[in-house]
Chain A
Amino acid sequence: MNGFEFTHRPIDAAALTGSLADPAAGGFAAFEGWVRDHNDGRRVARLEYEAFEELALREGRRIVAEAIRRHGARRAHCVHRLGALEVGELAVWVGVASAHRAEAFAACRQIIDEIKHLVPIWKKEHFDDGDSGWVNCAHCAEAAQAPGFDYSRQIALPEIGAAGQRRLAESAVVVVGAGGLGCAVLAGLAGAGVGTLVIVDHDVVEPANLHRQPLYSTNDIGRPKAGAAASRLAAYNPTIQLRPLPVRLTPANAAGLVAQGDVVVDCSDNFATKFLVNDAAVLAGRPAVLASVYQYEGQLQVVRPDADGSCLRCQWPEATRDGLVGNCAESGVIGPVPAVLGNLQAMEVLKLLLGLPGQLRNELLLVDLLDLSQRRLQAPRAPECKGRCARIAELAAPVPAGTLEVSVSLAEAALQGYRIIDIREPDECLALPMPLPGHEAIPLGQLLDGATRLDPGLRYLLVCSSGRRSLAAAELLRADDQGNVWSLRGGLTVTMRTQNAK
């Protein structure tokens, strides 16, 4: 038996130990967590455990599998009790069998620590005096045992105090994107003691991320960012709970993910996700804190559907297509810029959770870190705000990228009857001329300004250097009913490489 499970019945430790028997195992280590009769100086009469089961099972299995892999254990299993328990009962059991004792101890320790930190389990304590209350397990189990983490300097702020600190511990924040902005947001909120952080990111850590994403180290390369960030933050602050979700935010899951937090923070690096976060937040009536960076500048906006505030679509009704303006990879980025913007986001989240004054609302903040200027632009709510965001359904069915892109050589494309349009800027065309005559050169801006109308009787193939701008242009032209437009996949770079290889 290898894995993780919940049970509503008493745990039979002897039977579980037997189930891990393995002739190749020379060592076995087990940990048992028991219900004790006191917590925080109060007498505890009994306990109830509750879990977000679907997610907890997935996370629990991942933790056990990871511990087996990392320590080279033979077999490992963890069972967590749910429901009502009396003092002295077994609440959680972990067992590991391995060739030698060292791996068994290490894997067992890792499993119980990560289960406590990462798995969404709550505990309701019934005290002798009749009082009771739900506590996040990571919180109650570790808070007392983490004397190294002390919020006193923050509690000393008169606007926060012990009540504010409790409010933070009870709050949950969903962070979409664990890149440059996300690292700063997550570190800021974890340090402040926000009780639960949900980390949504489907990417893995790459070497080119590290200079601006200090939650990761070179050892994390290739590891999913959500999990790597959660491990790092769990070690940083053991009093909070982390929920890593290595998934892409999609129209299908956006509403469900946004509902997991009191606030959602957009730290993504593409327009599709930013609009999705905005729309899901508006539809759910939850605040969203959005930021973006470009080279030495950033923009910050707080979407407040819960307070009749404006949203991203109030100023930008149509979702901007990705590929039209540069991203971090194309335009370059330096660490402190996303770090500053991310910390501004973290501060706005804390202001929201704590009800602090001066919250950004109905404004767009522009920050320039070269000349250190800031500008606040009034961005009022559009009367049709909510109707626009109802387009989340529309986002669910964008033109499938596959049908917009073709992979052909330019010569074949010409033979197949495509009119080829080079949408690069004149200086790019000079630097890398098209390898084939007989094409038109219409720079992107000119093609999209509406003055150039394409002939509906012809088929067009748009070409740029990487295939990104041409895909964005093809999407926009299709949306504008200029139907017969395709994009050359991979652009000139790929075409030339293929050609040279022949």
Chain B
Amino acid sequence: MPRIRLRYYALLREQAGRQEETVETAARTPAALYQELILRHGFRLPQAQLKVAVNAAFTDWTYALADGDEVVFIPPVAGG
């Protein structure tokens, strides 16, 4: 199974209890991967409130994930 590196920010970091991890996953898209992570970490933010970046570029949720990709889910942040 493809190995994906994950990096968490803000609310997601808090809920996952970690800043990064590497997962083996059958998920083919960031959308499917996020659904897996909801089950694994109990993420509460709906996908519609997030953006996703793969290999340091914003992409859409149907991007075809490949072994070794780095995925960052970015929650909106407003503190000032």
* Structural contact, B79 and A379, CB atoms closer than 8 A: no
CB closest chain-B residue, reference A318: B48
* Structural contact, A293 and B80, CB atoms closer than 8 A: yes
The answer to whether A294 and B56 touch (CB under 8 A), given A326-B11, A445-B44, A448-B46, is no
Segment 323-364 of A: residues with Cβ below 8 Å from B: 324-328, 331, 333, 338, 364
A199 to chain B, nearest CB (A): 14
Using a Cβ cutoff of 8 Å, how many contacts connect chains A and B? 112
Other-chain residue from B14, B19, B43 in contact with A445 (beta carbon distance below 8 A): B43
Question: Most chain-B CB neighbours within 10 Å: which of A182, A316, A443, A445?
Answer: A445
Of the four ranges (under 10, 10 to 19, 20 to 34, 35 or more), the interface on chain A belongs to: 35 or more
- CA of A375 to CA of B57 in the docked complex: distance in angstroms? 10
CB closest chain-B residue, reference A333: B79
A268 to chain B, nearest CB (A): 5
Segment 51-80 of B: residues with Cβ below 8 Å from A: 51, 53, 56-58, 72, 74-80
- CA of A333 to CA of B7 in the docked complex: distance in angstroms? 21
Task: Name which of A126-134, A218-226, A269-277, A406-414 contacts chain B.
Answer: A269-277
CB closest chain-B residue, reference A366: B9
A136 interfacial contact with B, CB 8 Å: no
On chain A, the residues within 8 Å of B7 by CB distance are 375
Other-chain residue from B44, B72, B75 in contact with A443 (beta carbon distance below 8 A): B44
CB closest chain-A residue, reference B10: A294
On chain A, the residues within 8 Å of B80 by CB distance are 177, 179-182, 266-270, 291-293, 328, 338
A186 to chain B, nearest CB (A): 13
* Structural contact, A292 and B78, CB atoms closer than 8 A: yes
Question: Most chain-B CB neighbours within 10 Å: which of A179, A267, A378?
Answer: A378
CB closest chain-B residue, reference A342: B80
CB closest chain-A residue, reference B54: A377
A315 interfacial contact with B, CB 8 Å: yes
* Structural contact, B76 and A316, CB atoms closer than 8 A: yes
Other-chain residue from B13, B19, B51 in contact with A316 (beta carbon distance below 8 A): B51
* Structural contact, A378 and B79, CB atoms closer than 8 A: no
On chain B, the residues within 8 Å of A444 by CB distance are 44
Segment 39-63 of A: residues with Cβ below 8 Å from B: none
Interface string of A368-383 (1 = CB under 8 A from B): 1011000111111000
Interface string of A423-435 (1 = CB under 8 A from B): 0010000000000
CB closest chain-B residue, reference A447: B46
On chain A, the residues within 8 Å of B49 by CB distance are 320, 324-325, 448
* Structural contact, B46 and A449, CB atoms closer than 8 A: yes
Interface string of B4-19 (1 = CB under 8 A from A): 0001011101100001
On chain A, the residues within 8 Å of B74 by CB distance are 299, 364, 366, 377
B10 to chain A, nearest CB (A): 4
- CA of A380 to CA of B51 in the docked complex: distance in angstroms? 13
On chain B, the residues within 8 Å of A324 by CB distance are 45, 49, 76
CB closest chain-A residue, reference B53: A377
- CA of A306 to CA of B57 in the docked complex: distance in angstroms? 22
Other-chain residue from A181, A270, A294 in contact with B11 (beta carbon distance below 8 A): A294
* Structural contact, B72 and A375, CB atoms closer than 8 A: yes
A322 interfacial contact with B, CB 8 Å: yes
A422 interfacial contact with B, CB 8 Å: no
- CA of A445 to CA of B80 in the docked complex: distance in angstroms? 25
CB closest chain-B residue, reference A330: B79
* Structural contact, A294 and B77, CB atoms closer than 8 A: yes
On chain A, the residues within 8 Å of B72 by CB distance are 366, 375, 377
* Structural contact, B58 and A379, CB atoms closer than 8 A: yes
- CA of A448 to CA of B47 in the docked complex: distance in angstroms? 9
CB closest chain-B residue, reference A377: B53
Other-chain residue from A177, A294, A378 in contact with B58 (beta carbon distance below 8 A): A378
On chain B, the residues within 8 Å of A181 by CB distance are 80
A425 to chain B, nearest CB (A): 6
On chain A, the residues within 8 Å of B14 by CB distance are 295
On chain A, the residues within 8 Å of B51 by CB distance are 315-316
A-B contact pairs, 19 of them (CB 8 A): A181-B80, A268-B78, A269-B80, A293-B79, A294-B77, A295-B10, A297-B77, A316-B76, A325-B75, A325-B77, A326-B79, A327-B78, A328-B80, A375-B56, A376-B56, A377-B72, A377-B74, A449-B46, A450-B46
Apart from the given pairs A294-B75, A295-B10, A425-B44, 8 other A-B contacts in the complex at a CB distance below 8 Å: A292-B79, A297-B10, A315-B58, A325-B11, A328-B79, A333-B79, A338-B79, A449-B47
